[in-house]
């Protein structure tokens, strides 16, 4: 059973973020539970890498002195699985926004799909989605996007060390990606659709690994809270 001293000295908590939760909500839920359990006013809690609300999977959450390690964990390699849908695009590159364009898909063969993955392996230039939390001129990009303002997005160099399509079900492609910090899987979906002379968007995303931390070892927020002592 963890004590208050454990949390103050620093714990690494592996949490499986539920769908529709923000990473911030997950951190707040845990912070609130720790404060309530031990009847304290303040404790440092932070996460090492945001997951979009429409994504599930591994959040590395640090407490107390371990929050100093957040930057180290953020820089580690990450693994994701999920689904791309071929044939149409959305402004956010995922299901946060409605479909805005439809493209032909009859020319896309399984072989073409598998061959195209090879174009994305290695160091690549990637344009982050306009619907992202990256800051420009003191504002988040999504603030410009939601206001209907055009904004120039600069490309960034990212590294994709593994990218495979694990299953093809009609226009749905199941994938697995291992990539560097700063890689947007939504942008990968968008660019993959273009490389297939079509369009694509991300319909499902799960983070399965950060460095050596694996989602199989993670707890749901509720299961973590259930491990806290009832009496402080």
For the annotated catalytic residues, the residue numbers are 52
Q: H-type helices in 164-232, by residue range?
A: 185-195, 221-226
Q: Per DSSP, what are the bridge partners of residue 15?
A: 59, 219
Distance CA 33, CA 37 (A): 6
Nearby residues of 65 by Cβ (< 8 Å), 6 or more positions away: 8, 9, 10
Burial-class residue 72 by CB neighbours within 10 Å (0-12, 13-18, 19+).
exposed
Distance CA 180, CA 18 (A): 23
């Amino acid at each position: 059973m963890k004590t208050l001293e454990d949390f103050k000295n620093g714990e690494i908590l592996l949490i499986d973020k539920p769908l529709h939760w923000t990473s911030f909500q997950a951190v707040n839920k845990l912070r609130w539970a720790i404060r309530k359990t031990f009847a304290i006013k303040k404790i440092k809690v932070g996460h090492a890498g945001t997951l979009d609300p429409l994504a599930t999977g591994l959040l590395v959450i640090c407490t107390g002195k371990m929050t100093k390690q957040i930057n180290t964990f953020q820089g580690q390699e990450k693994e994701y699985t999920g689904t791309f849908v071929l044939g149409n695009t959305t402004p956010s590159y995922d299901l946060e926004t409605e479909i805005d364009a439809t493209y032909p898909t009859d020319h896309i063969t399984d072989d073409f799909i598998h061959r195209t993955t090879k174009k994305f392996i290695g160091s690549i230039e990637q344009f982050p989605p306009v619907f992202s939390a990256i800051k420009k001129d003191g504002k988040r990009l999504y603030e410009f996007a939601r206001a209907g303002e055009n904004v120039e997005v600069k490309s960034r160099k990212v590294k994709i060390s593994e990218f495979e399509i694990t299953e093809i079900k009609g226009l749905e492609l199941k994938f697995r990606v291992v990539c560097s910090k700063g890689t947007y899987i939504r942008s990968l979906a968008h660019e993959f659709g273009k490389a297939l002379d079509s369009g694509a968007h991300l319909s499902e995303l799960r983070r399965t690994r950060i460095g050596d931390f694996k989602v199989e070892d993670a707890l749901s927020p509720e299961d973590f809270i259930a491990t806290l002592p009832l009496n402080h």
